[in-house]
Amino acid sequence: MANIKQQKKRNLTNEKQRLMNASFKSSIKTAIKAVEKAVAENNKDVAINALNEANTKLDKAVAKGFLQKNNASRHKSRLQKLVNTLA
């Protein structure tokens, strides 16, 4: 345990940020799974809406520095290919 006051403060902020990151990561995974589920059920309208939401979350993750640009692009491309199989 830290004895220095500033390190105690940093530990608190680090914990808050860790929880925020975990929540954000979970929401991205949920959005991706929603697209995959809609494609599995052959529901094109729901899949397109879920894809738009997932793309928004992935773009926000890149803007926040949570994901690298190519990582998000790979996810977006893979999901778009899945949705295109319904057409």
Query: Which of 28, 21, 19 has the alpha carbon at shortest distance from 56?
Result: 28
pLDDT at 39: 96
d(CA 35, CA 54): 8
pTM score, whole prediction: 0.84
pLDDT at 77: 97
- Could you tell me the fold of the domain covering 5-84? Methane Monooxygenase Hydroxylase; Chain G, domain 1 (1.20.58)
Q: What is the pLDDT along the chain (87 residues), one digit of tens a residue?
A: 788 999 999 999 999 999 999 999 999 999 999 999 999 999 999 999 999 999 999 999 999 999 999 999 999 999 999 999 997
Burial state string for 61-74 with b = 16 or more CB within 10 A and e = fewer than 16: beeeebbeeeebee
